[in-house]
Structure 1
Amino acid sequence: MTRYFISGTGTGIGKSYFSALFAQKLKAEGQRVRYVKPVATGYPEDDDAAFVAGQAGLAPEDAVTLYTAAEPASPCFVFDPFPFAACVARIEALSVDCDALLIESAGGLAVPLGQRRYNYHFALELGLDVILVVPNRLGCLSDAIVYGHFAKRHKLTLSAVALNDHFAASAREADRNAAVIAEHYTSQTMYRFDAALTEWEGGSLRRPKG
């Protein structure tokens, strides 16, 4: 079984879109996929599990949210304390009977959960492969490079970078950014996608040219 932690450089950058597309890809390969959102704020208006289930065709029991809060804020502001150990245990239980487990963070990789816990601690505690979602726009080069150093500093297994082309001002800008980021992530899989899409193009995720 493979287990992925889908996080990114911030919030509102397309993590749920990528999760849905990635789930479609894995399902097309014959894998049983389960999606877990450990914590969701701004809920139920912002229900990522329901979105991913609908877009990827997952059964309700295969797309779940564990802890919710109505206020759209960092988990450290709405949980006192955040039930990290219990959350990890529930994720472990959900990893049974599936081929691929997708865990999507609330916000970016370093969002605080409280009590010196951050989103990236899920990846460390559960041994997850991190997929870093980056909005392909002005400023993304610094974000992508800095987060790469952050992942290395905290001994995270960064397996892939997913660039969201939806934010690009032009195809030229998108391709230039992608080329530079690829030079810094030579050992990682490089994905490109567009959050405006709801299905894989030609049955597979688009990749950088060249």
Structure 2
Amino acid sequence: MTRYFITGTGTGIGKSYFSALFAQKLTAEGQTVRYIKPVATGFPEDDDAAFVAKQAGLTAADAVTLYTAAEPASPCFVFDPFPFAECVGRIEALSADRDAVLVESAGGLAVPLGQRRYNYHFALELGLEVILVVPNRLGCLSDAIVYGHFAKRHKLALSAIALNDHFAANAREADRNAAVIAEHYTSQTMYRFDAAFM
């Protein structure tokens, strides 16, 4: 079994769209897939699990959200406290019978959950391979490099960069950014996708 933590440099950058595409890819390779959103705020208007299920052709049982809040805010503002240990246990239980598990963060890599816990603690606690989604736009080089250093400092297993070309002003800028990021991440897989999801 391979387990991935799909996170990013922020919110509204295409993590759920990439999750759906990645789930489709793994399913086409013959793997059984489960998508898990540990926490979703702005719910149910913003229901990433339902979106991923529909786009990737997963059943409702294979695209699940564990904890929800109506307010579209950082989890640290809407949970008191956030049930981190319980959440990790539920992810473990849901991971047991699938070839691949995709765990998607709410917001970016360092979003606080509360009580000195952050999104990246899911990857550490569960030993997940990290896929960092980066919007391909002005400023993305700094974001990608800084987040890479952050991942290394916290001993995260950064396995891939997923560059969302939807944000690029034009193909030339998109390709230039991708080339520089690829030079910095020679040991990681580079995915490029174009997700119009707003």
- What TM-score bracket applies, with the shorter chain setting the length? over 0.9
2:46 match: secondary structure: coil
Q: Partner of 1:64 in structure 2?
A: 64
When the two structures are aligned, how many residues end up with a matched partner? 196
List runs of 5+ in structure 2 lacking aligned partners.
none
1:172 match: secondary structure: helix
Deviation string 1:78-109 (CA, Å, 9 cap, x unpaired) is 00000000000000000011000000000000
2:125 match: secondary structure: helix
Q: Spell out the pairing of 1:98-113 with structure 2 (5 A cutoff).
A: 98-113=98-113
**Deviation, structure 1 residue 24:** 0.2
Distance 1:109 1:60 in 2: 26
**Deviation, structure 1 residue 25:** 0.2
Distance 1:47 1:28 in 2: 24
Distance 1:41 1:195 in 2: 21
Distance 2:32 2:59 in 1: 10
Distance 1:96 1:44 in 2: 27
Overall identity of the aligned pairs, in %? 90
**Deviation, structure 1 residue 136:** 0.2
Deviation string 1:86-136 (CA, Å, 9 cap, x unpaired) is 000000000011000000000000000000000000000000000000000
Q: Partner of 2:195 in structure 1?
A: 195
Distance 1:85 1:160 in 2: 26
Distance 2:27 2:19 in 1: 12
2:11 match: secondary structure: coil
2:25 match: secondary structure: helix
**Deviation, structure 1 residue 61:** 0.4
2:163 match: secondary structure: strand
Let me know the Cα RMSD of the aligned residues.
0.3
TM-score (normalizing by structure 1): 0.93
TM-score (normalizing by structure 2): 0.99
Q: Spell out the pairing of 1:1-210 with structure 2 (5 A cutoff).
A: 1-196=1-196
1:131 match: secondary structure: strand
Distance 2:135 2:184 in 1: 16
Distance 1:144 1:155 in 2: 16
Distance 1:50 1:22 in 2: 15
Deviation string 1:154-175 (CA, Å, 9 cap, x unpaired) is 0000000000000000000000
Distance 2:31 2:22 in 1: 11
- Which segments of structure 1 move beyond 2 Å, counting only runs of 4 or more? none
Distance 1:98 1:116 in 2: 31
Distance 2:104 2:145 in 1: 21
Deviation string 1:175-196 (CA, Å, 9 cap, x unpaired) is 0000000000000000000113
1:162 match: secondary structure: strand
**Deviation, structure 1 residue 71:** 0.2
